[in-house]
Amino acid sequence: MSDRPIIEIRELTKFYKGNDEPALNTISLEIFPGEIFGLLGPNGAGKTTTISILCGLFPPTRGEVYIDGMEIRSNLDKIKHIIGVVPQDLALYPTLTALENLTFFGNMYGLRGQDLRTRIFEYLKVFGLEKASRKRISSYSGGMKRRVNLIAGLLHRPKVLFLDEPTVGIDVQSRMVILDYLKEINKIGTTIIYTSHYMEEAENLCSRVAIVDHGRIISIGNPRELLKDHPEFKNLENIFLHLTGKEMRD
Ligand SMILES: Nc1ncnc2c1ncn2[C@@H]1O[C@H](COP(=O)(O)OP(=O)(O)O)[C@@H](O)[C@H]1O
Ligand SMILES: [Mg+2]
């Protein structure tokens, strides 16, 4: 890890229209190059709101974000080329094939022609989708769609990758393929910020995690450090339940 944060968040607050409670409440955070950082929390905690602001989808109500030393709002064009985003909701066109979808995303990043095609097929192979490349997305399983969604965020080989619940509701094989690949690109230098509510997954994957609830960070650290700070709990899941409460969230 180097000393200069690749992501710096200062006192981020977000109010949505018609909601008196802030979705984010003065969150400050630094993420360093080479980290796999997990943003963990129950439904409604503010994870998607955080990711959306960090990738420039909309501005915060208050606060500042710096990515790779650049203030996000005034450098969106530059920042778009160094970040990749894998949204929680699928961003694919169901009536197009995987190849057509990925060509579309590649074009958005200025990738074209044979180079783009070669790159797409490299990724399709990694994610076991080569044979299905010319089938419509609507015929894909949930896990297959997730894998294509992930490729769409990776095509331009971003330095920083944001993933919002990339492993929710998919088969165990797809999950393993995705997690193994994230570890691999992290080893060669990609910084990863991802949200999840699977504690065990985060415990194994992340260099650090922040547990968020009601728009605030309530605990942050290396998963092993957090366990050391709470010796009464056997795993991150128990810490999480202790900190966020056991009541169900929508
Ligand atoms: N577009 C929106 N308009 C109004 N409220 C929203 C909107 N998106 C999210 N919220 C509210 O903001 C809070 C945080 O939501 P979100 O960031 O989606 O949480 P998470 O991803 O952790 O489940 C929730 O209370 C949610 O209801
Ligand atoms: Mg969410």
Any idea what the CATH number is for the domain that residue 64 is in? Answer: 3.40.50.300
Q: How far apart are CA 212 and CA 218, in angstroms?
A: 6
Note whether residue 2 is domain-resident.
no
Note whether residue 163 is domain-resident.
yes
What pLDDT is stored for residue 66 in this prediction? 98
Q: Tell which residue, 113, 119, 165, has the closest CA to residue 142.
A: 165
Centroid of ligand 1 to alpha carbon of 249 (angstroms): 12
What pLDDT is stored for residue 234 in this prediction? 85
Note whether residue 155 is domain-resident.
yes
Q: How many structural domains does the chain have?
A: 1
Centroid of ligand 2 to alpha carbon of 41 (angstroms): 9
What pLDDT is stored for residue 2 in this prediction? 56
Note whether residue 169 is domain-resident.
yes
Torsional class of 120: left (φ above 0), alpha (ψ -120 to 50), beta (otherwise): alpha
- Nearest ligand to the C-alpha atom of residue 164: 2
Number of neighbouring beta carbons within 10 Å of residue 146 = 26
Please give the residue range of the domain that contains residue 48.
Answer: 7-200+207-244
Centroid of ligand 2 to alpha carbon of 194 (angstroms): 11
What pLDDT is stored for residue 138 in this prediction? 96
Q: Which amino acid belongs to residue 40?
A: L
Note whether residue 152 is domain-resident.
yes
Lining residues, ligand 1, CB within 6 Å: 16, 19, 23, 41, 43-49
Note whether residue 249 is domain-resident.
no
Note whether residue 250 is domain-resident.
no
Identify which of 16, 57, 250 to mutate to test ligand 1's pocket (most ligand atoms within 8 A of the CB). 16
Identify which of 17, 24, 39, 49 to mutate to test ligand 1's pocket (most ligand atoms within 8 A of the CB). 49
Q: How far apart are CA 47 and CA 174, in angstroms?
A: 23
Note whether residue 184 is domain-resident.
yes
3-state secondary structure of 11: strand
Identify which of 14, 19, 193, 212 to mutate to test ligand 1's pocket (most ligand atoms within 8 A of the CB). 19
Q: How far apart are CA 223 and CA 228, in angstroms?
A: 9
Residues of the chain with pLDDT under 50: none
